[in-house]
Copies of this chain bind each other. A is one copy, B any other.
Amino acid sequence: MSDYSTYELGDFTLQHGATLRGAHLAYQTYGTINGDASNAIVYPTWYSGRHWDNEWLIGEGMALDPAKYFIVVPNMVGNGLSSSPSNTPPPYDRARFPAVTMYDNVRAQHQLMTERFGVTRLALVTGWSMGAGQTYQWAVSYPEMVARIAPFCGSSVTSEHNKVFLEGVKAALTADEAFRGGWYERPPTTGLRAAARVYAGWGFSQAFYWNRVYRQMGYSSLEDFLVGFWEGFFLDDRDANNLLTMLWTWQNADVGNTPGFDGDTVKALRSITAKAVVMPAEKDLYFPPEDEAWACEHIPDAELRVIPGIWGHFAGGGSNPDDTRFVDQALKELLAS
């Protein structure tokens, strides 16, 4: 897990004006770049995810086969491996870490792909959740470079309802006095656990809980799932300021805010030249299929494929074999086209 590379971004000026000095991206690669550098895939991470959390979709015989493709997983800024509140020295450390947009993340990834690897064309960009948001952003920021995109369980613009869900997570986390406006010396674990409990209702669908599917995941009761899976998730080396940095990126995501589009999301979607397969999950509570159907109306070459079933947002998380097969099959067809 600690086996990854670092790309130095140097003094990286962000869309909202701050300059992150000594910024860096942590990333991992799978497979080998071919002679004409035509087999590269970018597969960004999701909210609080690390590169190793993406590996379930990579493997022999899968669409993302390292024998065929050169797959790069860049860690999102703020996730604790790439530049983050938790690893940035003063004065931009901790609560002073600046606002980072999807556009910033993708610009950093673009620098990595072009300058380190000399890649000028990507066979595919794909990702789950905020990884899907970065996927959309790639297609808007660098249309000449992106041949195909496959965002799953994510969106091109964060809906108002999604923002509200995240407000709840943020409010719970920061209600803990131990958070101290971000200047904690010890983790605000009460707030982290509260945020986990708020998140729990959103991550999986009503039907997932009705059918107690968490038992298949090895949890013995509802409370065991809330503590063992959810609280464990938020306490697993997740720094509170890091979580809030990524939460800001998420709440403010909108491909329309790419320079040149002046806030016009539809115009940005229309500018996408990549062939797109868009995969929301049927019962995703914060990225509902309707929103992605709307996006597909505006992308010139887009196909909507709804992941069926009851796993909700976590249909794209790699825990349910049926959903993994669905996503993998779609990627295979898209890469063959």
Flag if B159 contacts A200 (CB, 8 Å). no
Flag if B200 contacts A175 (CB, 8 Å). no
The digit string for A137-175, where 1 denotes a CB below 8 A from any CB of B, is 000000000000000000000011111110110111011
* A38 smallest CB distance to B (angstroms): 39
| A193: Cβ under 8 A from any B Cβ | yes
Interface residues in A173-216 (C-beta closer than 8 Å to B)? 174-178, 190-191, 193-194, 197-202, 204-210, 212
Could you tell me the distance between the alpha carbons of A174 and B202 in the complex, rounded to whole angstroms?
20
Flag if B290 contacts A197 (CB, 8 Å). no
Q: In the assembly, how many copies of this chain are there?
A: 2
B-chain residues with CB within 8 Å of residue A240 when the two chains form the complex: none
Could you tell me the distance between the alpha carbons of A194 and B174 in the complex, rounded to whole angstroms?
9
- Known: A168-B201, A285-B285. Contact between A206 and B175, CB under 8 A? no
Could you tell me the distance between the alpha carbons of A177 and B174 in the complex, rounded to whole angstroms?
11
Could you tell me the distance between the alpha carbons of A81 and B167 in the complex, rounded to whole angstroms?
31
Flag if A160 contacts B210 (CB, 8 Å). yes
| A222: Cβ under 8 A from any B Cβ | yes
Flag if A164 contacts B290 (CB, 8 Å). no
* A157 smallest CB distance to B (angstroms): 11
Flag if B290 contacts A200 (CB, 8 Å). no
Flag if B164 contacts A226 (CB, 8 Å). yes
Chain A contact residues (Cβ within 8 angstroms of B): what range? Answer: 35 or more
B-chain residues with CB within 8 Å of residue A194 when the two chains form the complex: 168, 171-172, 174-175, 194
B-chain residues with CB within 8 Å of residue A226 when the two chains form the complex: 164, 167
Q: Which of B168, B199, B206 contacts A197 (CB 8 A)?
A: B168
Nearest B-chain residue to A288, judged by Cβ: B206
Q: Which of B164, B176, B210 contacts A161 (CB 8 A)?
A: B210
The digit string for A291-312, where 1 denotes a CB below 8 A from any CB of B, is 1000000000000000000000
B-chain residues with CB within 8 Å of residue A291 when the two chains form the complex: 206, 210
- Known: A171-B172, A288-B206. Contact between A161 and B198, CB under 8 A? no
Could you tell me the distance between the alpha carbons of A172 and B199 in the complex, rounded to whole angstroms?
11
Could you tell me the distance between the alpha carbons of A265 and B198 in the complex, rounded to whole angstroms?
27
* A184 smallest CB distance to B (angstroms): 13
B-chain residues with CB within 8 Å of residue A198 when the two chains form the complex: 168, 171-172, 198
Nearest B-chain residue to A169, judged by Cβ: B198
Flag if B290 contacts A165 (CB, 8 Å). no
Q: Which of B160, B164, B176, B209 contacts A164 (CB 8 A)?
A: B209
29 of the cross-chain contacts (CB-CB < 8 Å) are A160-B209, A160-B212, A160-B222, A161-B204, A161-B208, A161-B210, A163-B222, A164-B200, A164-B201, A164-B222, A167-B201, A167-B226, A168-B168, A168-B194, A168-B200, A171-B193, A171-B197, A172-B194, A172-B198, A175-B175, A175-B176, A176-B177, A177-B178, A194-B194, A206-B285, A206-B288, A206-B291, A207-B290, A285-B285
Apart from A164-B197, A206-B286: 5 A-B pairs, beta carbons within 8 A = A161-B204, A161-B209, A168-B198, A175-B194, A207-B290
